[in-house]
Structure formats: C-alpha cells, structure tokens
Structure 1
Amino acid sequence: MLRYKRQLTILIGFTAFVSLGLPDGLLGVAYPSIRQTFGIPLESLGTMLFMFTLGYLVSSFNAGRLIAGLGIGKLLVISCLATGIGLIGYALAPSWGIFVSFAVLGGLGAGAIDAGMNTYGATRFSPRAMQWLHGFYGIGATTGPLIMTAVLASSGIWQQGYWIVAVVQLLLAVVFVFTRNMWTLTPHTNSAGEAIGEGADKPAHVRSIDTLRQPIVWVSILSFFVYVWLEISGGQWFYTLLTTSRGLDTITAGTWVSLFWGAFSGGRFVIGALANRIAPRKLMRICIVGVMLGITLIGLNSPTLPSWIALIGMILLGISLAPMYASMTIMTPKRLGIHTANAIGFHATATMFGVFISPTVIGSLAQSTSIEVLIPVMLFTGVIFITLFEVLMAYDRARAREKQTRLSSGAAASV
C-alpha cells in the first residue's frame, strides 16, 4: 500500500509540473493576438510579467508558513484553484487592466505549487524521480505553445487556449482534493542531526526570520540565484551572440539555441535515469566541470576554429545544467532540517529574481561593450557558484563529523 501511494504521488507530481509549465508556454504565442484584442503597445507585456512575478515571489517566499498552516495537500489544492481561476480570468477579461490583475493570482498559484511540490519531492522522492519531476516541467512548457498554436490555427480565438489549460488546472485541483491526505512529509532533523517530529501533512512551523538567521541558508539561497543566472544568461543571449557577433544566419542560430534547450530538457530525463546510482554531491561536481568546459568552448571565437565548437559547448552546457536544480533541492532537507520548507520557498524566490535580473545586467554590459562580454560574465558566475557550492559541502562535512563524534561519545558512555 505504501509503495502504491508513493508511486501515485510521483505520478501526480509529474502531472503537476507539466501543468505548471503549460501556462508559461501559452503567453509567447498568444501575445500578438492579445495585443490586438486590447489594443496595447508591445511593451505592455512587461507589466503583465511584473504582476505575475510579484504574485510568484509573495507565495514562494511564504511557502514555509503556508505549508505549516495548511499542509502540503491543502496548499496544492488551493494553488491549482488559484492558477485555474487566473487562467479563466485571462480568458474572460474585458480589458487589459483586468487581464493584468489576474496575473497576480496566477503568480500566487504558480509560486505555491512550485515550492510545495519541491518541498515534498525533496523529502519524499528519489533523486531519479526528482530529476524527472523537473523534466516534466519542460514538457509542459513545450506543450503550451503547441496548444495555443493549434487553437489559433483552428479558430483564431486565443481565449480558448487559456480555457483548455484552465480545465487541466482545475482537474488537477480535484485530484489533489481526493489525495490531500497522502501528501505527508518525512521527519526533519535539527542542527545536531537528530530527528524531529513524525511525517505529517503540516510540519512544525519555523518562522521565516529564524530560517534567515542561519548563515548557511543565505549561502544556499545565493547558490540558487547564481545557478539560474547561468541558465538564463545562456538561454536569453546565445541567439544574439551567434547572430550579431559570430555571423551565423537566423535559422542556424535558432536551431542551435533549440538544441541547447533540448539538451537541457532531455538531460533531466537521461541523467535522471542514472541519478539513483550517483550521489547528488558527486553528480553536482561532474556537472560543474561540464558547465565550465561548455562555457569555455562557446567562448572559443577564432577564425581558425570551426563554428560548430560553440554548438558542442552549448549542448554540453545544457546537459550539465539540467540536473543541478533538482540535485541542489534534494540535498536541502538533510542540510537544513526543520528549515527545509522555508528554505525551498526562498530558493524559488531567488531563482525568480535571477530570471529577471540576469538578462538586464548582461544586456546593459553588452550595450556598453559587446555581446561577447557574455562569456567572461558566465565564467565569472561559474566561479562564484563553485565557491558557494564548496562552502555548502564543507558545512555538510562539518555536520557529519559532529554527528559522528556524538555517536562515538554516546557509544563510549554506554560501555
């Protein structure tokens, strides 16, 4: 029975992350039609994304408090309802202002689902299942544009695309209603490595401020911020680098960027299949080497070298980045114990900040120099990530030694 429940929650988790990715993929295809409907300028998209991000940041930052108050199961129900209602709001909105207001609700739901599922997965899922969980988000983000494209091709009514995904979200909410008691967390440990509490839907509440007082939590938060900086830097700027600086045509450059994202998404499934055989810290170190080597290959810009070396670097970078977020998340409970739920919410907040800040900073630097500045910035960012990761590993080793010392002292005292 326990195995059945575990397999069912994994399956539902995969479905939840597909649904989390679906709305993200709709907007890019639908926006030209949305602009025509509401008669808005191109830059209005920024307002909508800002409001969505605001909602996401609020819910993800407070995820620990929400999990403690509602429990994982109820939080997932409410989050899916919020996301579904937000999508219905997009479809029914009579004006751009109302459309944008529903973006806040969509962001609140998305941030809570993301943090809630990651918290549950970090304490309950195997490394392989955790990697695949994040891989299914990519499937959702890929499927979303296909849904909206099909809708626009058949009827030309963009609202129908949002209705379709809203129904998916609401059906998922119903699934969470009937399975809400299955979403229990495993016991956490305190700073001494001792178990605290029993597996429960509502973990012991730890104030956010108490979690933020832990220096190692800030190192962890920064590591997620720097990681997503690397991911988004490449994804957002490789096309510009290849077309404006390396002389590639638009089709070739677009294909290469697609291969980068394909390696990133596919890598989560391929490497995920091996994740149970490799310790997360070892996998992370292998990936870090791949990231630095990939960036270096992309940076090799010389008339005497073939341009496809950059493609190899992009594919290597995508594969290497693929398992890192899930690996970092799955190491969090052992490191932070009762602060896990709060910390994973903070991680989600940090990644959203990284998504918005990194393109702006690199764009400003490229404007004042050239787009080739992308490579040294990414290498420098990689060095920062290595430093943060090794600080976390040193902390983990110190905790392990302290625990072993206590066990040895206890054994000696009992003799």
Structure 2
Amino acid sequence: MTEAGSNSPYNVEYEDETLFIDSSDWRSSRLLKGQISCSFFLFTLFGLAEQTVGAIIPKLQEQYHVNDIYISLIYFSGTLGYFTMALCNGYLHKNFGIRGVTALGLCCMTISYFIISTVPPFAIFVFCYFFSGLGFGAMDAGLNTWMGNLVDSNPLMGILHGCYGLGSMILPSLITHLLERKMNPWQWYDYYVALMALSGLCLTAALMLFRYETPKKYKYMVITKSKLDDNDIAMDTAKDDDVTIVTDLTSNTAELDVDDSREVSIAQVLAKPMVWIFATVLAMYVGGEVAFGQWLLTYLMRIKQTPYKKCSHIVTSFWSGLTVGRVVLGWVTGHYFTTELVANMVYITCSFGGYILIWWILFATDYINILFPLVFITGVVVGPIFPTTVMTAIRLVPKREEVASIGFITAAGGSGAAMFCSLIGAVAETSSISLFPLIIMVIFGVITVAWFFIYEKYKSVFGKTRL
C-alpha cells in the first residue's frame, strides 16, 4: 500500500502527471533538507529586506527631504502588496504550485530592489515596496503552511522565523558599518544592489529545490489531506502533534477529482470568525514587534540624544533576542508545553512584562545601557509568538482551507506592521515620538487579554480532529 504523507517517497499518477511525493520527515530525505535550508535562507533575506527602511530613515529623509508621515507611506505600500498577495494566495497556489508562487515572489523582490538601487523619485520608491510586499506575502503564506505540515514542525517553524530575526538582527549594525566606515563607505542605495543579488540567488535555488512542487501536486496534496480530515483520522497521535496517520488515497484518483469541488474561496474563509480572531491577534503582534524594531533607533536618537551607532546596536540587541527566542523556544514549545495555546499564553504575558519595564526605563530614567540586556530578553519572549500563533491556526483550520486561511492571517500581521508603524510616524510628526514606548506597551497588553479569550474558547477542541 502507498501512503500519502508517509515517510517513504513515492510516485503517483494524477491528472496525466507523475507526481513525486517526498517524505515529510527531514531526516530521511536529502531533497527535503535542501528545501528546508532554502526556506531558512529565504526568511533570512526576508529579515534583511524588511527592516531596511527602519535602519535608514535618517538617510532617506536626507535624500528625499520627507517627514515621518511620508516615511510611513513606505510601510503602508509594502503592506498593501503583502495583503494583496494574501487575497490571491489560494488561487495562485492552485494554478502555479508552491514552486511557482515562491518564484513569483522572489521575482517581485528582485525587480523592486533593482529599481530602488537607481535612486528613483520618492513616489516610485514607495511603489516599489508594493512589489516587495507581494514577495514577502508569497513566501510567508506558502512556506509557513508547507513547513507547518512537516515532522518536527514546531522547532522547524521556530528556526524558520528565527532566520527572519537573524536577518533583522544583522541589518542595523551591518548598514551602520557599511554607511559609516572610513574606507569606501557605501551609500544607502548600494545596499539595495546587494538585496537584489541575494534575491536572484534565492530565486535560482528555489526553482531547483522546489522543482516537484507543481500545481497538480499542490491540488493532489490538498484534496488528499482534506479526505483524511473528513474520515476523522486522528491528528493528535501519541502526544506527538507532528505525526500524521494516513491511509491509501492514491488508488482512486477519480474519487479525488470529486473532492476538488469542495475547494474553498477566500470569501468562504473570511466568513469564519476564527480566521478573523487569529488575524487580529497577529496584526497587533506584528504591528507591535515591527514598530518597536523600526522606530526604536529614531526614538533613541531624538528623545535620548543617543549616538546613531549605539542606537543601531540596541536595535540589534532586540532582534538578536528575537532570533534566539524563535530558535530555542520553538524547540521548547514542542517538547515542554502541552499545546501551543499554553505556550503562547506564557510568551505573550512575559512580553507584556518586558515592554512595561522598557517603558518605565525610557520614561523615568536615563540609564540607556540597561536597554541592551532588557530589549534582548524581551526579544527572546517576543520571538516565538508569531510561529506559535501560526501553528495554533494550522492545528485548527481544515486542511483544504490552510493556504487561504494562513495567507490571510499572516497578511493581517503585515497590515498590522503598516498600521502601527504609520501610526507612530503620524504621532511623531504631529505630536511627539516620546509616546512610542507607551503605544507598544498598550498593544501587548491588549494581545495578552485577547489570547486569554482564545485559550478559553479553543482549549476544549485543540489537538483533536480539525473543525
């Protein structure tokens, strides 16, 4: 018997195409190891690219003579692209497969960074970030859903998002060094040439390593896993959420074709309250996390009169903690917590406490040096919230709705980044950026309350057959 989703690779004929179905266990597949490594590198590029604007705000304002509100338009444009991709993700995956969607996203990023490197007018700069956002959205939804169904998904997802944190961690100090070094200093636009080259390399690697991830394979896997759900095959086996019990679904492809009519549209997904609940939480979380990382440097320079280089190192400390948290606590989540619901409650509560302390230090004292360990520790507990929230959603949504649901939920995170980064930019321009730490603290206070209600709502069904 050939088993879909088993740990032994096999071929299957489906709609006149021979599909290669690989193992879901990275230990037994060299190709899967390559795909996972490629995904890690893509998310490192994600971090290197997304945090660029925050690190070069002073340079952009000097180049284009724009205020904070105009800078916030860059965040808005990127999020609009991200959100647009989320609405199209289900359709694009069905027609292009994981390989095609990933390639499309990387093409958008490569082209946008090439145009920005030529120092176009500011309006074109902002518009390029729409295409960059398309690329981020393509990678985020597709790779999160794909990796969330592998063996050891919690630690793998932790490392995946830790790689985003790694890119974000490297970026502030790297740009500061390149722009301010004494010998042959870079201009801010030179960095976009490097991003363009990295995006091109990632595109080549993704086309090679995901060559079997075709549209028909995507369709086959969605329908197969949907049928497993409908047959009430347990997903919570022997306390190991990552092991999926499977059955023989390859012998009758005609039966699979009938199931294809049950594919859901984005409108059907958006009609479900659960999707909106997780989308709202992730929007606030990503908004708070990204806004903190993006505006902290500017806040410290303006309010605390801290030197540029020291500010960049403090920001790096936060992203370093976030990287460590996602890698280490992703493993802790899978081995020491009963469910992702419980783990996230701990992480969110600790994050709220960390931001309270940061607000108090910034508001009541001038002890800037204490921020180095404090923002690092806060970053550690903030880090795993995103992958743990995504894994919680993956555990709850039906298989055939995964890509559309997770795409929208992660896109909501991007919209939160734009909303809160823009909000802080508007407050900074019209009032004072001194309110920045208080805004971040309030955001995480609301998230703490929201997750408590999520825990109470879903704890009785979590880990059982999908709803």
TM-score, normalization: structure 1?
Answer: 0.78
Asked whether the 8 Å contact 2:161–2:326 carries over to 1, the reply is yes
Query: Judging changes above 3 Å, is the alpha-carbon distance between structure 1 residues 403 and 102 closer, same or farther for their aligned structure 2 residues?
Result: closer
The one-letter amino acid of 1:387's match is V
Q: CA deviation at 1:221?
A: 0.8
**Pair 1:294-2:357 in alignment:** no
CA distance in 2, matches of 1:339, 1:357: 26
Please say if 1:122 is aligned against 2:173.
no
Pairwise CA distance, 1:40:
3.3
Please list the CA deviations of residues 252-289 of structure 1 after superposition, one character each: whole Å capped at 9, or x if unmatched: 76654443332222222232343431342332122123
Asked if the contact 2:51–2:294 (Cα under 8 Å) also holds between the matched residues in 1, the reply is: no
Query: Is 1:321 aligned to residue 345 of structure 2?
Result: no
User: Which residue among 248, 255, 263 is the counterpart of 2:321?
Assistant: 263
Q: CA deviation at 1:385?
A: 1.9
Q: What's the secondary structure of 1:134's corresponding residue?
A: helix
Q: Partners of 2:364 and 2:111 in 1: how far apart?
A: 54
- Asked whether the 8 Å contact 2:77–2:129 carries over to 1, the reply is yes
Change (3 A) 1:47 1:315: closer
Q: State how far apart, in whole Å, the 1-side matches of 2:431 and 2:59 are.
A: 34
- Contact 2:317 2:373 (C-alpha < 8 Å) held by counterparts: no
- Equivalent position amino acid for 2:81 in 1: G
Task: Write the letter of the residue equivalent to 2:326.
Answer: R
| Matched ranges for 1:192-271 at <5 A | 205-236=263-294, 249-250=306-307, 255-271=313-329
Once the two structures are TM-superposed, the CA of residue 48 in structure 1 deviates from its matched residue by: 4.4
Uncovered stretches (5+) of structure 1, i.e. residues with no partner: 407-415
Unaligned runs of 5+ in 2: 1-8, 10-22, 235-245, 251-255
Structure 1 distance, partners of 2:371, 2:460, is: 40
TM-score by length of 2: 0.70
Report 1:76-115 matches (<5 A).
76-92=102-118, 96-115=122-141
The alpha-carbon deviation at position 107 of structure 1 amounts to: 2.3
Aligned: 1:356 with 2:418? yes
Structure 1 position 372, deviation (Å) = 5.8
Indicate the residue corresponding to 1:170 in structure 2: 200
In structure 2, relative to structure 1, the CA distance for the partners of 1:92 and 1:295 (3 Å cut) is: closer
Deviation (angstroms), 1:218? 1.0
Query: Going by fraction, where is helix more abundant, 1 or 2?
Result: 1
The superposition leaves residues 378-402 of structure 1 with CA deviations (integer Å, 9 ceiling, x where unpaired) of: 5543343233323333443343598
Distance 1:381 1:99, change over 3 A: closer
Q: Show the counterpart of 2:4.
A: none
Residues 93-137 of structure 1: per-residue CA shift (max 9 Å, x gap): 765555544333222222212222122122226211111111112
CA contact 1:52–1:103 (8 Å) conserved in 2:
yes
Shift of 1:314: 3.3
Q: Secondary structure at the match of 1:42?
A: coil
In 2, the alpha carbon distance for the partners of 1:387 and 1:331 equals 17
Counterpart in the other structure of 1:411: none
Percent identity for Structure 1 against Structure 2? 21
Contact 1:61/1:348 (<8 A) preserved: no
Instruction: Decide whether aligned partners of structure 1 residues 148 and 273 sit closer, same or farther in structure 2, where only a CA change above 3 A counts.
Output: same
| Matched residues, number | 399
CA distance in structure 2 between the aligned counterparts of 1:400 and 1:23, rounded to whole angstroms: 35
